[in-house]
Every structure is written in structure tokens, then in C-alpha cells.
Chain A
Amino acid sequence: MTERRPRVIVCAGGGGVGKTTVSAAMALASARAGVPTLVVTVDPARRLADALGITIDSEVRQIDVEPSAGDRLYALMPDPKRAVRLCLDYVFEGESAARDRVLENSLYLALEDSIAGVHELMSVVLIERAVATLPLGCVIVDTAPSRYALDFVSYPGRLATLLEGRAMAWLSGLAARLVTGPASAQGILAWGRRRIERVVSAALGPRVIGDFAAIFADLSHVRKRFSAITRKAEALLLGPSSRFVLVAAPTGAARADLNHLARRVHQLGRATSAVVLNRADVGPPAWVEHVLASDPTPPLVDAVRIIEVERAARTGAANAASAAFARRWPGVPQVRLPAIAAASPREIVQRLADALAPSLGTLVG
């Protein structure tokens, strides 16, 4: 039996480019096209959550943006404060004694809340769980607004490597040896290892080593399960059914972030499947000419001119960014979306979904 795999779109971009809104719009467009779609926002965005009726609580929920999306649109905005606990419950399912010991471990208590890597890992685990339980055709992952956002894609693999390999055995051994005293093996290798052990033990101190040993011992109960989850998460994000879509806006910072992220995708051994240039109107919207032709009063002419000057600056910057990206990364499709003025974030998402509908195949196909 082959496992059914949804298409996974990893969206990355610098901060302030409208990545979360674009991700939501892509998800809406995909759901409108009949595909059950989940949008995951790794960095919770309250404004959008409120607008779309999403609860920030680590549960996947169906959201009701408009009738044409039917019951096919789901959202997940993991709460950084609760994701860790939820994830432990999942990993330690059926091993509640071990889980409770981990929950009381002072090392865990010190690191539990809000350390960046933990939250992102938990998000990946929650995505993996959602894919296992819902009939999804498409998952859109809106990563944190950072140049390092793509690090989290390889994080499950790094963790699995730690859990599976000699490293874990050595570290649990180290923790145990430091508690019970050194091994007596001979030879230069053993000498080097003892020396490293002494340095590590001196740096961390006996209490932390003891806590480490305890956590490693409890992790060993669920090691296979945990590493299977992290491997599945890795396959989901880096496997053949994932796509990388980069989102940028017409600013110098976003343009530099775009190039940096394209390099990161390349380093992951993958190709950028598309670039979305947000707020990148190709030319003046048709209404501008009609308004100016309708003999408006001077304050209206001024207002339209200001809007137009801003739009022209964005178009110029977008043209330059687009050309520079095409030179550096030829063959990557680019999708340009206009700036949208609307009263509510929900309406912006809907109108962006309209605007990107013709390019849906390029973005999520």
C-alpha cells in the first residue's frame, strides 16, 4: 500500500512582505479549486487569525471564509506556549510515566517555553499529525518571517540523526559514565574521548549531566517512535511532493532576503518552484485614468497623485527585483500580485486569492 501524500508548499520570505496573507490566499484559492487544503502559520499572526476566525491553539480547525471554499479549508496556528506540551503528549503516547518524568526534569523545565527551535519542531510534528488524520490534498506552510526560516525544514532530519545514530548512544553513555565514573578503555582514541568527556563534564556540572542522563533514558522509551515521526516530517517537507515558494515585496530588504532564501533552497538540494512578488502592481490600475478623466476636485486629484506616486515607486522597485532575480535564477516562474486596499484582512485574502487564481497551477501544482 502506498501512503497518500498531500502536496506540501513551503512558503518563505523576509518579514513584512505579506507572506502570511499570501499563504492564506493560496490556501483559499486551492480550496476554491476543490482541493482540501490546510494552511499552517508557524509564527502566529493574530490579525489574520481574527479575520479568518482561526484560534491560535495547536488544533487543526476547519475555517469558514466563504461558501465557495466549501468545507475544504483548514487552518493551524500552533500556540508557541502550548505546542511543546501537546507534542510531548503525542510522542509519549502510552508512556505516561516517562512523559511525566520528562515534564518534571529541570532541564526540560528550563528549555520548555518559547525557545525558537522547539516551537518550530513542534509545528512540524503537528503538521505531520494533521496529514496523518485528515484527507488533505495540499498543505501550505507559512514559515517564520526570517532568513533562517528554512532551517526548520532540515531540523527534523537533524534531530532524527541525533536520535538514531551513534551520537545518541555516545551521549547517553557519556551521561551515564559521568555519573558512575570513567570507563577504563586504553588507546589514543579512548584517551581523546575521555578528555572530551572531562571537558564536557566540567563545563556542564554534575547536576545537568544527571538531568541529561534522565532525559535520554526516558527518550529511549520512545526513541523509535520519535525518530519515525521526525523522519516522516522530514519526508513531508523535503520529499518529492514538497515545493518551495518564496514571497517577496518590492523593497531592497525583501529583495536581498529573496536571494538569500533562494540560495538556502538550493543548498537543501531543491529548486525554488515559484516566486510571488506581493504589492508589485505591473502598471497603474485602470480606475486611476477614469477618475482623472472625470474632472475631479483638486483634493481628489492630489489624493490620486499620491497613491499613484507610491504605486509607481513600487512598480519600479518590483521590476528591478524581478529582473535581478531572473538573471540570478533563470527559469523560476514569477507571479506578481497587486497591492490591495480593502477594509478587512479577510477581504484582502479573498481578493489576493482572485488575483492568484490564474497562477494556481504554477504555485501549488
Chain B
Amino acid sequence: MVLIIGKGGVGKTTVAAGLAAAEAKRRGKAALVEFGDGEAGRRALGTKHREVDHVVLEPQSAITRLGGAVVGSDLLARAVLENFAISRFLGAAPAVRELAMLENVRAVSAERPDRRVFVDMPATGHGVAWLRVPAQMRTLLGSGPLFDVTDRLCRELVAPGRVSIVLCTLPEHLVILETLELWQAMTREVGLSPSRLVINRFPPDLSPEAVALARRASERAEGEARAALDTLVVTLEARAAAWAEASAVQDRAARETGVPPLVLPQLPVDADASAAASWLAGALP
């Protein structure tokens, strides 16, 4: 099982679909798990990757399935969950959804022993919180059927050797700072060391001498041409700064994690799974 984790907007879906497509290309099959309505995964996979089993987990049915695992019967679980007080409680209680999603991920993977499962984890500011839920609940409960479910999650999902973690990030100083903190926290707080870092939207390096050339041209120009060239200078400077920042981030990530990060280029439009697969092929363990 491979969990793809990162903040919102860093391109987790592209990376998850790309990894699944690369695995399918190599081994003939793979599974991609997505939370929500499945639209993002379908778009990233396109129509080409039929050998990728695309599993969509929707919160409400995930909770019913967790209930079934706890009480031993889906029917009884549904009766309990439809109880007016319980359903209101679940509507407001934290952590239930997280636990339900993780139990469903475990079940999806257990049902597909022949495939590697890639999970596009929900966007969260604190990726570690999700993975801490089973251990927290296990300590809290002490015994009983819900304890058994959390205990199994601790042994079969949030356990070294069972799951690899790929962290996605962006090539910006402050974002990588948070990602490196997350990398450390994963090891310290859940006992899982991430295996790879993927830096998405790495900006292109426009001709390095362009900024200097534009500056010189602007000094010689007059009127409208000069104003236009000044705007070009600012634009090129901003892009050169973004590229320099991205390169520094890449070096820092390699130094602090001890693993060279994988880099996906910035594109004016979305990358599809095939393109991402070709960039990410080296990432598969």
C-alpha cells in the first residue's frame, strides 16, 4: 500500500494516478483509491489506464462499512447508524470519518492481495493527524469490537513494512519547511518513515542570461518600449527567483531527508497520469 500525502493543491491526485499508472505499466495491474466522488481520479487516469482499478470511497458508506466491521453485521450497523441520536452525533463527532476511511482503505487493500494499492489521501494541513487516529482510539478504547478494528488498523495499515508514504510538496521555502516537519513528525509520532518526497510544479529555467539582457535593452530603450521592457525585467526576475528558490528547496530536501526528491515540472495545463507516470517511474520501490 502506498499513501500519497500532502496539503491541498500540491497535486496529490496527479502523483497518485501517475504512480498507479507506472505500477500498472510495470506489473500489469494496480489500484487507485480516491475519497469523494471519483471525478479527480477519473480525469487524471483518462480512458487509457483500464488496468488501474479505480476505487472511490464515499464518506457515508465508509462509515456504514466501519459500523459493519464493528458490530459484525451491515444491517445492524445501518439500524444503529440511522438512529436519530447516533446519526446526529456522527454528524458532529470528529475522528469518526477519518477512522472509517482508514478502515475502508485497509479493506480495499486486503481484498486485492495481488495489486499494489495507491491511496490519494484527503488534503489536510496536518497529514499526521489522520494516521494517529487508530493508535489514539486504540489507547482510548482498551477493549471491545471497535478496539479490535483500531488494533487491526495499527497492525495492518499504520505499520512499517505494510505501507509506504509518499509526501507531495511544492518548490517553495515555506512549503518545504512544513513538509520537512511533516516528514520528521511521521517518523516520530506514527513510526512511519516516508519513502519519497515529490516536488510538484518545478518552474522551468528560462535562459539564465535573459534577465541581464532585458535590463540592458531597457536602459537603451525609450517610451513605450522601455516601459514594456521594464515589465519583462520584473517578470523574468520573478521567474528566475522562483527557479532559484525551487533549486534551493530541492537541495535542502535531498540533504534533510537523505533521499533525492522526485521532481515534476510546472505545466501551463494539468499533467495526465501517463505524463506523470513517465516522470515517476523511478519512484516505485
Contacts and interface: CB of A to CB of B under 8 A. Distances in A.
Interface of A: 14-17, 43-44, 46-47, 50, 80, 106-107, 110-111, 113-119, 144-148, 155, 158-159, 161-162, 165-168, 170-171, 174, 196, 199-200, 202-205, 207-208, 211, 250-253, 256, 260, 285-291, 293-294, 296-297, 299-300, 302-304, 306-307, 309-310, 313-314, 317, 341-343
A291 B126 CA distance: 46
B136 to A, nearest CB: 4
A299 B228 contact: no
B76 interface: yes
23 contacts: A14-B8, A15-B10, A16-B10, A16-B11, A46-B175, A80-B126, A110-B136, A114-B128, A117-B94, A161-B91, A162-B92, A167-B85, A167-B88, A203-B71, A207-B141, A252-B269, A253-B13, A256-B39, A289-B228, A290-B225, A300-B213, A306-B206, A343-B238
Nearest to A13: B9
Most B CB within 10 A of own CB, among A14, A260, A285, A287: A287
Contacts, number: 210
B39 A307 contact: no
Contact of B40 (A17, A165, A171, A256): A256
A75 B37 CA distance: 34
Interface string B190-214: 0000000000000010110110011
A294 B92 contact: no
Contact of B231 (A117, A287, A303): A287
Contacts of B225: 290-291, 293-294
A117 to B, nearest CB: 4
B129 interface: yes
A337 to B, nearest CB: 16
Nearest to B12: A15
A162 B88 contact: yes
Contacts of B61: none
A310 B83 contact: no
B88 A300 contact: no
B124 A116 contact: yes
Given A147-B36, A203-B146, A290-B224, 13 more contacts: A43-B8, A113-B129, A144-B123, A162-B91, A167-B89, A208-B140, A251-B270, A253-B43, A287-B228, A287-B231, A294-B229, A300-B213, A313-B269
Most central of A119, A299, A303, A309 by chain B CB within 10 Å = A303
B263 to A, nearest CB: 17
Interface of B: 7-11, 13, 36-37, 39-40, 43, 70-71, 76, 79-80, 83-86, 88-89, 91-92, 94-95, 97-98, 122-126, 128-129, 133, 136-137, 139-147, 172-175, 177-178, 204, 206-207, 209-210, 213-214, 217, 221, 224-225, 227-229, 231-232, 234-239, 241, 268-270
